[in-house]
Structure 1
Amino acid sequence: MMILKRLSLTVALTSLIAGCAMPPTSPLTVRDSQSTTAYQEADIESLLAQAGQSMPIRAAELRLQAAQLLIAQGDTERATQILSDIDTSILPPGLQFAVIRLQTQQALDNNDAEQALSYLAYMPSLSTLAEDDVLLSERLFADAYNLSGQSLEEAKILIESTDYIQDPTELQRLHDRIWQALQSSRDENLYIALQQPNNSYVLQGWLELAQAARTIADVTAQTNNIENWLNLWEAHPAAQLMPENLTAPQDIVLINVARIGVLLPTSGSLSSAGKAIQDGITTAHYASQERGMAPELFFMDSTQYVTADEIILAAQQRNLELVIGPLDKSMVKSLAEYGPLPIPFLALNYTDESAANLYQFGLSAEDEARDAATQAINAGKRFALILTPDTDWGNRADQAFADTFESLGGTVVARTSFTADALNQDIAQALKTDESKERAKSLRRATGLNFEFEERRRQDADVILLSARPQDARLIKPILAFYFAGDLPVYATSQVYSGAPNARADIDLNGVMFGDIPWVLSAPSDNRRALDAIRDNTDTRFGRLYALGIDAYNLYPYLQQLKATQGTRLKGETGQLALTEDNKINRHLQWAIFENGMPKTIELTSEQTFEYRSEYRPEESSEERTEYADEPSTQYSTE
Structure 2
Amino acid sequence: MDASYATQDYAGSAIARQALNTLIKDDEQILENQEIILRDLQELPASDIAALTDQPFDDIMQGWVSLAYIAKTGGDEQYTQQQIDQWMEKFPNHPVNLSILKTIVSQQPEALGRPAQIALILPLKGRFSKAAQAIQDGFLATYYNQKDDAHRPVLKIYDEGDDPQQIQAIYQQAVNDGADFVVGPLNKDSVTVLARGTDFPAPVLTLNYGEDADTPLGNLFQMSLSPEQEARQVAEHAWLDGHHKAAAILPNTNWGDRVFAAFKERWEELGGEVVEYQTYDAKKSDYGMPIKRLLNLDESEKRADGLKRLVNMKFEYEPRRRKDVDMIFMAAFARQGRLLRPQLRFHRAANIPVYATSHVYSGTLQPNMDRDMNDVKFSDMPWTLTHDDNELKSQIEKLWPSSSKRYMRLYALGVDAFNVIPELNRLRRNQFSSYQGETGLLYLDVNNRLLRRLVWAEFVAGKPRVLDKF
- State TM-score, norm by structure 2: 0.78
Aligned with 1:279 (options 137, 142, 151): 137
Task: Map residues 424-443 of structure 1 onto 2, 5 A cutoff.
Answer: 424-443=288-307
Aligned with 1:352 (options 211, 226, 242): 211
Q: Structure 1 CA distance, aligned partners of 2:85 and 2:152?
A: 37
8 Å CA contact 1:273–1:545 kept in 2: the answer is: yes
Q: Structure 1 CA distance, aligned partners of 2:311 and 2:268?
A: 43
Letter in 2 for 1:276: A
Q: Structure 2 CA distance, aligned partners of 1:537 and 1:195?
A: 51
Letter in 1 for 2:189: S
Deviation at 1:292? 5.0
Letter in 2 for 1:506: D
Q: Who is 2:96 aligned against?
A: none
Deviation at 1:288? 3.1
Deviation at 1:463? 0.5
Q: Structure 2 CA distance, aligned partners of 1:603 and 1:266?
A: 40
Q: Who is 1:91 aligned against?
A: none
Deviation at 1:423? 1.0
8 Å CA contact 1:254–1:558 kept in 2: the answer is: no
Letter in 1 for 2:306: S
8 Å CA contact 2:160–2:167 kept in 1: the answer is: no
Whether 1:256 aligns to 2:120 is no
Letter in 2 for 1:406: E
Deviation at 1:487? 0.6
Q: Structure 1 CA distance, aligned partners of 2:256 and 2:434?
A: 27
Q: Structure 2 CA distance, aligned partners of 1:309 and 1:252?
A: 24
Aligned CA distance change for structure 1 residues 188 and 284 (closer, same or farther; 3 Å)? closer
Q: Structure 2 CA distance, aligned partners of 1:493 and 1:570?
A: 22
Secondary structure of the corresponding residue to residue 399 of structure 1: helix
Aligned CA distance change for structure 1 residues 328 and 184 (closer, same or farther; 3 Å)? closer
Q: Who is 1:14 aligned against?
A: none
Q: Who is 1:447 aligned against?
A: 311
Q: Who is 1:460 aligned against?
A: 324
Deviation at 1:297? 1.5
Aligned CA distance change for structure 1 residues 485 and 211 (closer, same or farther; 3 Å)? farther
Deviation at 1:586? 1.6
Deviations, residues 284-311 of structure 1 (Å, cap 9, x unaligned): 2223353751322121111187424312
Letter in 1 for 2:399: I
Q: Who is 1:27 aligned against?
A: none
8 Å CA contact 1:548–1:574 kept in 2: the answer is: yes
Q: Who is 1:375 aligned against?
A: 237
Deviations, residues 149-201 of structure 1 (Å, cap 9, x unaligned): 499xxx9xxxxxxxxxxxxxxxxxxxxxxx9984254888999x959832499
Deviation at 1:557? 2.4
Q: Structure 2 CA distance, aligned partners of 1:235 and 1:245?
A: 11
Q: Who is 1:496 aligned against?
A: 360
Q: Who is 1:386 aligned against?
A: 248
Deviation at 1:425? 1.0
Task: Map residues 124-273 of structure 1 onto 2, 5 A cutoff.
Answer: 149=24, 182-183=34-35, 185=37, 197-199=55-57, 206-207=64-65, 210=68, 226-227=72-73, 238=83, 243-246=101-104, 253=111, 255-273=113-131
Structure 2: give runs of 5+ residues left out of the alignment.
1-19, 88-100
What's the C-alpha RMSD, in Å, of the aligned pairs?
3.6
Whether 1:311 aligns to 2:170 is yes
Q: Who is 1:133 aligned against?
A: none
Letter in 2 for 1:301: D
Higher relative contact order (CA 8 A, sep 6+): 2
Q: Structure 1 CA distance, aligned partners of 2:141 and 2:354?
A: 36
* Percent identity for Structure 1 against Structure 2: 34
Aligned with 1:531 (options 350, 375, 396): 396
Task: Map residues 78-157 of structure 1 onto 2, 5 A cutoff.
Answer: 149=24
Deviations, residues 286-340 of structure 1 (Å, cap 9, x unaligned): 2335375132212111118742431232133113222100112221121123345
8 Å CA contact 2:25–2:269 kept in 1: the answer is: no
Letter in 2 for 1:321: D
Letter in 2 for 1:595: V
8 Å CA contact 2:53–2:62 kept in 1: the answer is: no
- Structure (1 or 2) with the larger CA radius of gyration: 1
Letter in 2 for 1:455: P
Letter in 1 for 2:138: G
Deviation at 1:147? 7.8
Q: Structure 2 CA distance, aligned partners of 1:402 and 1:433?
A: 23
Q: Who is 1:585 aligned against?
A: 450
Q: Who is 2:278 aligned against?
A: 416
Secondary structure of the corresponding residue to residue 600 of structure 1: strand
Letter in 2 for 1:369: A
Aligned with 2:186 (options 299, 320, 327): 327
8 Å CA contact 1:464–1:489 kept in 2: the answer is: yes
Aligned CA distance change for structure 1 residues 201 and 249 (closer, same or farther; 3 Å)? farther
Letter in 1 for 2:257: N
Letter in 1 for 2:346: F
Aligned CA distance change for structure 1 residues 563 and 484 (closer, same or farther; 3 Å)? same
Aligned CA distance change for structure 1 residues 383 and 200 (closer, same or farther; 3 Å)? closer
Q: Who is 1:3 aligned against?
A: none
Q: Who is 1:107 aligned against?
A: none
Q: Structure 2 CA distance, aligned partners of 1:236 and 1:564?
A: 16
- State TM-score, norm by structure 1: 0.59
8 Å CA contact 2:443–2:452 kept in 1: the answer is: yes
Deviations, residues 519-578 of structure 1 (Å, cap 9, x unaligned): 011354332233133221366241211100110111122334323333432111111112
8 Å CA contact 1:247–1:564 kept in 2: the answer is: no
Secondary structure of the corresponding residue to residue 427 of structure 2: helix
Letter in 2 for 1:463: M
Letter in 2 for 1:281: F
Aligned CA distance change for structure 1 residues 253 and 200 (closer, same or farther; 3 Å)? farther
Letter in 2 for 1:183: E
Aligned CA distance change for structure 1 residues 251 and 600 (closer, same or farther; 3 Å)? same
